[in-house]
């Protein structure tokens, strides 16, 4: 509690290479939130973070006496705390669907990314790369139907997807330039040229592409 009472502004403790930290930085940039961003490696967590986060993990968001340490919770908190522009649909059914999309991205895609980043077993790496590539190609036609993921507006779902797509080259995943994948490439370009996305990038992330 000592750390929380000493801080008078919002502080975001972020790993500059982590896709979970990146998604929250996109929300912060989209909302134009005044925030102190403190970058550190997940392998070298500071005592300050260890004091306020029982899991000692990144990202961690500190807003006065409130401490959050799960990225999706942070994103929804920021969307409610700073309502403009809204990043979740207004209607309950649409909001529930967006939350379910984020859950599926976490379970189906982020899990593969985490294996690629953390596993030393070639068999696991090959399986995760193949699975992620095939899943992205399978969903690619969806992006021909609307400018963002299943929505006309940019949402938290896109904030979850953008960091993964930005890291494809670094993850060793090459998508074919085909009719099937074209809507996905168009979507990626739309995301990557968005001002909030450009603002969210760290130097390490800029070097990933």
pLDDT digits (tens, 9 = 90+) for 134-158: 999 999 999 999 999 999 999 999 9
Give me 65's structure tokens: 């006496």
Question: Is residue 187 pLDDT above 50, yes or no?
Answer: yes
pLDDT-wise least confident of 2-11, 61-70, 73-82, 122-131: 2-11
Task: Name the residue with higher pLDDT: 5 or 99.
Answer: 99
User: Residue 7's pLDDT is what?
Assistant: 63
Question: Is residue 5 pLDDT above 80, yes or no?
Answer: no
Q: How confident is the model at residue 3 (pLDDT cuts 50, 70, 90)?
A: very low
- Determine contact, residues 53/3, Cβ cutoff 8 Å: no
For the chain, give the mean pLDDT. 95
Task: Tell me the C-alpha to C-alpha distance, in Å, between residue 76 and each of 73, 87, 130.
Answer: 5, 8, 31
| Topology of domain 2-81, CATH | Glutaredoxin (3.40.30)
Give me 95's structure tokens: 């909001």
User: Residue 8's pLDDT is what?
Assistant: 62
Residue extents of the structural domains in the chain: 2-81, 92-194
Burial class (CB in 10 A: 0-12, 13-18, 19+), 47: exposed
CA distance 116 to 113: 5
39 forms beta bridges with 14
User: Residue 6's pLDDT is what?
Assistant: 55
User: Residue 54's pLDDT is what?
Assistant: 96
Mean pLDDT for 34-46 is: 95
Q: How confident is the model at residue 9 (pLDDT cuts 50, 70, 90)?
A: confident
What pTM was estimated for this model as a whole? 0.94
Task: Tell me the C-alpha to C-alpha distance, in Å, between residue 27 and each of 59, 71, 97.
Answer: 13, 11, 19
Pick the CATH number of 92-194 from 1.10.1060.10, 1.20.1050.10, 3.40.30.10, 3.30.43.10: 1.20.1050.10
Q: Where are the beta strands (DSSP E) in the chain?
A: 11-14, 36-39, 60-63, 66-68
């Amino acid at each position: 509690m000592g750390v929380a009472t000493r801080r008078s502004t919002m502080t975001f403790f972020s790993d500059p290479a982590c896709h979970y930290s990146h998604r929250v930085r996109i929300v912060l940039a989209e909302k134009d939130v005044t925030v102190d961003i403190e970058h550190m490696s997940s392998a070298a967590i500071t005592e300050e973070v260890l004091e306020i986060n029982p899991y000692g993990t990144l990202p961690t968001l500190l807003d006065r006496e409130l401490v959050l340490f799960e990225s999706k919770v942070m994103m929804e908190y920021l969307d409610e705390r700073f309502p403009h522009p809204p990043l979740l649909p207004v209607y309950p059914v649409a909001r529930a669907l967006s939350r379910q999309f984020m859950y599926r991205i976490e379970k189906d895609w982020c899990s593969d990314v985490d294996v690629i980043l953390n596993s030393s077993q070639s068999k696991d790496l090959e399986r995760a790369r193949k699975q992620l590539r095939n899943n992205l190609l399978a969903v690619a036609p969806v992006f021909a139907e609307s400018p963002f993921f299943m929505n006309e507006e940019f949402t938290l779902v896109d904030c979850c997807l953008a960091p993964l797509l930005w890291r494809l080259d670094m993850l060793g995943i090459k998508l074919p330039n085909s009719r099937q994948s074209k809507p996905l490439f168009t979507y990626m370009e739309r995301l990557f040229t968005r001002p909030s996305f450009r603002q969210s990038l760290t130097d390490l992330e800029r070097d990933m592409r």
